[in-house]
Chains A and B, each alone.
Chain A
């Protein structure tokens, strides 16, 4: 039903830089001339809860949230959160996930264990799956906190949008003193 709309989901844990990544993505597609809507829940999620950000772009976007089962790309900052949101993705959709595990309270307290084999199970259901070592590449870029930008770079390659718009959006949205390292992180991700 969504016609020419591209649906992207960014999921992870509060504090991982998901909102900045989705802002840069939205700015990029606006610069490229598309209508765009983005939606996420603030509030409770800031206290270490799950975060799901929806970005939709195309000629004219109505719903600010991605209809269930219509996501084109799921862009996961943490493995368990990536898994939790798979049902938003369309069959045959793309998954780009950070190879990172962050334990929720029940696991920290030793009441549950972190599920094993998540990446394998994602790949079984969604063969178009890219696992990114965001932490290592962020260190390579020069700042461990740029994993979100590395991942954004990896996603950017899957979208038919001119590189110039991405760089322009990064320049606008990222604070000046962190721009160089983020540019480097973005290009590292884009080269994957």
Chain B
């Protein structure tokens, strides 16, 4: 049977067909939909972990217990999971273990564009890279088999254009006859103390040599000889661009990008007149090929930054540009917080109070954009609190008062707790705001340990943030309604002025939460055209439901208007209007 699947759906299908029993992840674009699809297969126990390190550790446990396990994350998630990954490379597996790392060249939704292939080399584990959805499914199955055959975790690298592209996939059946999981003790293999690890490391090196040598015999590395004047070594989505732009060129399509099939590369290089290497981001294949003493052209003509496109590849090979319309300069359309978002009033207030805001990763990172303009730093998941502590160590006591860390519920649970522990332990006077909207919103509304539900939709314990902060030793914990601007301002001022660590928790749900009884839409608001003076105060919160309507007489005058289809009745704009022009719409 054929279906159109995204790369992520196909990876989930591949895991199902491979007999995978456990799938675990922390959401992250572009990897999130893999677990959102494994959960549809009842044979797979699918769960969100609080972060990628825990997710990988859960998968490791499942593997050691004898079941096949899948763990997925975005590229930067691998940084968090790197600690267990590097030693897992030494222990190897029992049940097959596959780690999906989804890269984001061009940073469509990421803070950097690190190339995960370097992790495969660094951790000395094999890595497969599919070029379309069919390969996503096949390579996932294959990765489980290789994992057990070579006793190693196997990484599967995708990128945004593979994970989020859809193409036709031929479905298969789930394998049967895999060994039943059970507890088996094997300390020399699984307890990585120096004595045991010294025995394991040489096995890792042998494994890489064997994988490299076997590379030529395995079906995922494929030499396609056409015109031999030009030969191109490529992998993943780049293979498609090569076939599109240079259909006559010979290709060596690598399905396994680490370790490289050295003999096959030598043979290919000897067959073609001129060798090119086409890869996105780092010169990962290129450096290794050149280190083998083979002449090749790669980043001399191709960009390191951003994603490759057929057009960029054409330009690199000096092909004539295809004529097209000249783009007109138009107003931009950046993403924005939703109408009724509980973060909006908080950032408006932080801006008013001239706070120095150390930020974090989530929808609220958009708080840096005008007109809210109230975020001053953003590095990685959980970094806001540590950065706030650090800033207060160097600035004057007067400036210390302005330092506020802002972090979402899911991000706080991911890696923010340790930062708060440190803030209390080392007594930083900074203020922390936990924006608790009861969901992991940015990646598309995933549950987390503070939402009260699991990925499989089972009700579960819901983290009590005030209690957690109290246990960490925070003495000043305030829970506020972020739609009440007076309360928000008053509490923020009090806690910012306090020369001790303090935590403010905002307590309103994301407007996108669909679970019943969580978000409730209020009465729709409207602007009274008679009362509106055109002062523009309500525009300072950047709500997409509020529109400035010019008078149309060439003057700068105009009035505000609220779109009744977008307004959720959050009440924030009403509080900004000094003229009482905003109120509930008359029915």
Chain A residues proximal to chain B, CB less than 8 Å: 1-2, 13-14, 23, 26-27, 30, 35-50, 61-65, 67-70, 80-81, 83-84, 86-91, 103-110, 112-115, 121, 125-126
Contact = CB atoms under 8 A, between A and B. Distances in A.
6 tightest A-B CB contacts, nearest first? A110-B548, A43-B109, A69-B322, A47-B335, A69-B324, A67-B310
Contacts of B245: 1, 67
B158 to A, nearest CB: 12
Nearest to B536: A110
17 contacts: A2-B244, A23-B166, A38-B165, A38-B166, A39-B164, A43-B442, A47-B366, A49-B335, A62-B243, A64-B167, A84-B328, A87-B327, A106-B331, A107-B331, A108-B546, A115-B328, A121-B328
A147 to B, nearest CB: 13
B114 interface: no
Interface in B350-389: 363, 366, 369, 371
B324 A88 contact: yes
Contacts of A2: 244
B454 interface: no
Given A47-B335, A47-B366, A48-B335, A63 B168 contact: no
B547 A104 contact: no
A77 to B, nearest CB: 13
Interface string B21-35: 000000001100000
A114 B548 CA distance: 12
Interface residues of B, number: 59
B539 A110 contact: yes
Given A1-B247, A108-B546, A91 B330 contact: no
A146 B508 CA distance: 32
Nearest to A80: B330
Given A43-B29, A43-B109, A67-B310, A105 B336 contact: yes
A185 to B, nearest CB: 19
B323 interface: yes
A108 to B, nearest CB: 5
B325 A86 contact: yes
A27 B4 contact: yes
Most central of A83, A108, A113, A126 by chain B CB within 10 Å: A108
Q: A-side binding surface: helix, strand, loop or mixed?
A: mixed
B419 interface: no
Interface string B330-351: 1111111110000000000000
Nearest to B322: A69
B161 A86 contact: no
Contacts of B311: 67-69
Contact of A1 (B164, B244, B371, B539): B244
A13 B336 CA distance: 12
Contact of A67 (B161, B244, B327): B244
Most central of A36, A40, A69, A105 by chain B CB within 10 Å: A105
Most central of B244, B444, B558 by chain A CB within 10 Å: B244
A64 B168 contact: no
Contact of A83 (B109, B328, B338, B371): B328
B132 A37 contact: yes
A177 to B, nearest CB: 17
B306 interface: no
B161 A36 contact: no
B535 to A, nearest CB: 12
A2 B241 CA distance: 11
Interface string B126-149: 000000100000000000000000
A1 B321 CA distance: 12
Nearest to A79: B330
Nearest to A67: B310
A68 B334 contact: no
B116 to A, nearest CB: 18
B544 A108 contact: yes
A91 B548 contact: no
Contacts of A80: 330-331, 333
B290 interface: no
B370 to A, nearest CB: 8
Nearest to B243: A62
Interface string B524-551: 0000000000001001001010111010
